[in-house]
Amino acid sequence: MGEKAGNPLEQFVLLAKTAKGAAAVELIKQALEAPGVYVFGELLDMPNIQDLENGPHGSHLALLNMFAYGTYRNIVAGKETLPELTELMTRKLRLLTVVSLAETNKMLPYSLLQSELDISSVRELEDLIIEGISAGVVLGKLDQKNCFFEVDFVVGRDIRKIDIGNIVGVLTSWCDNCDSTLSTIEAQVEKVNKQRCLTDKHKAELEQRISEVKAAVKSQGGEGDDPDSRMDSERSERRDKKGGKGKGLRGASGKSFWKQ
């Protein structure tokens, strides 16, 4: 049960192993109406389903292909050769058409959706999109003021085998772009590391030069002498000289200059 819940199509694939002819047709109808079933590739690949192509029920196989790969417009264009759709089938195919439109445009105007889905009423269109959001087929926001649907997420649809080559090409191009971006980043990192090494080297040379200058200044003042001690000595000598001049102002008799 857990597997079937995870893949709603699985039950139809299992039944298709034994269903043939009219039973296979009935199975297709049930799958196209079943809630939660929006991909059909596995069912299409079943031998009993493919056997319908050249028999009297070939139109139902064509209808299944439309739901797997087509849009509502495709159904309208081929309605003369396809079985009639039920209301549930019509709503599902319209939702799948919204998914296909969202693959190329994340901002879907109401006017475009109404045209592609053949819906005249805005209310009917919004109800359909809300139903799709509730079912997890699409996610996004309805902008009723500006009349567009902003798409955030859509389910994936089936992929034709002939489209696989194009998909591989797109993925290869994406990988090449990633490699190019990575190479650019690595080059920038190397450049930054090189600049940092140069900065560190310059800093070390500058510190070495400062040390050499300090050593030279210290050696000029004599061994064990440094500029600070010389300055203290010079201040002391100046104070002594000032003191000597003060004493010389007194007369030979020892009397003060001012008293004379």
Q: 118, 91 in Cβ contact below 8 A?
A: no
How does residue 249 score in pLDDT terms, banded at 50, 70 and 90?
very low
Q: Which residue has the higher pLDDT, 213 or 237?
A: 213
pTM value is 0.64
Structural domain contains residue 54: yes
Residue 258 scores a pLDDT above 50: no
Structural domain contains residue 23: yes
Structural domain contains residue 217: no
For residue 165, what are the β-bridge partners? none
Is 127 in the same domain as 96? yes
Structural domain contains residue 240: no
Is 43 in the same domain as 54? yes
Q: Three-class SS string for the chain?
A: CHHHHHCCCHHHHHHCCCCCCHHHHHHHHHHHHCCCCCCCHHHHCCHHHHCCCCCCCHHHHHHHHHHHHCCHHHHHHCCCCCCCCCHHHHHHHHHHHHHHHHCCCCEEEHHHHHHHHCCCCHHHHHHHHHHHHHHCCEEEEEECCCCEEEEEEECCCCCCHHHHHHHHHHHHHHHHHHHHHHHHHHHHHHHHHHHHHHHHHHHHHHHHHHHHHHHHHHHHCCCCCCHHHHHHHHHHHHHHHHHHHHHCCCCCCCCCCCCC
The strand pair at 107-109 and 138-143 is best described as unpaired
Structural domain contains residue 224: no
Is 145 in the same domain as 178? no
Q: Determine the pLDDT at residue 176.
A: 80
Is 94 in the same domain as 143? yes
Give me the domain span that covers residue 196.
160-211
Q: What is the pLDDT of residues 49-105, one digit of tens each?
A: 999 998 899 999 999 999 999 999 998 888 888 999 999 999 999 999 999 999 889
Q: Which residue has the higher pLDDT, 2 or 36?
A: 36
Task: Indicate the angle between helix axes 122-135 and 87-102, nearest 10 degrees.
Answer: 80
Q: Which two tokens stand for residue 32?
A: 């196209």
Mean pLDDT value of segment 98-114: 94
Number of independent structural domains in the chain:
3
Mean pLDDT value of segment 114-129: 95
Residue 126 scores a pLDDT above 90: yes
Mean pLDDT value of segment 131-136: 93
Q: Which residue has the higher pLDDT, 211 or 2?
A: 211
Share of the chain above pLDDT 90, in %: 53
Is 61 in the same domain as 101? no
Q: Which residue has the higher pLDDT, 228 or 163?
A: 163
Q: Determine the pLDDT at residue 145.
A: 93
Q: Determine the pLDDT at residue 7.
A: 82
Could you tell me the sign of the dihedral formed by the alpha carbons of 93, 94, 99, 105, in that order? positive
Q: Determine the pLDDT at residue 244.
A: 59
Q: Determine the pLDDT at residue 2.
A: 39
Q: What is the pLDDT of residues 165-210, one digit of tens each?
A: 666 667 777 888 888 888 889 889 988 998 999 899 889 888 888 8
Mean pLDDT value of segment 108-131: 95
Q: Which residue has the higher pLDDT, 45 or 242?
A: 45
Q: Which residue has the higher pLDDT, 82 or 253?
A: 82
Nearest to 92 by CA among 17, 12, 38, 150: 38
Is 146 in the same domain as 189? no
How does residue 257 score in pLDDT terms, banded at 50, 70 and 90?
very low
Q: Determine the pLDDT at residue 234.
A: 65
Structural domain contains residue 122: yes
Structural domain contains residue 237: no
**Measured between alpha carbons, how far is 23 from 29 in angstroms, rounded to an integer?**
10
Q: What are phi and psi of 200, to 5 degrees?
A: -65, -40
- Round the average pLDDT of the chain to a whole number and report it: 84
Structural domain contains residue 100: yes
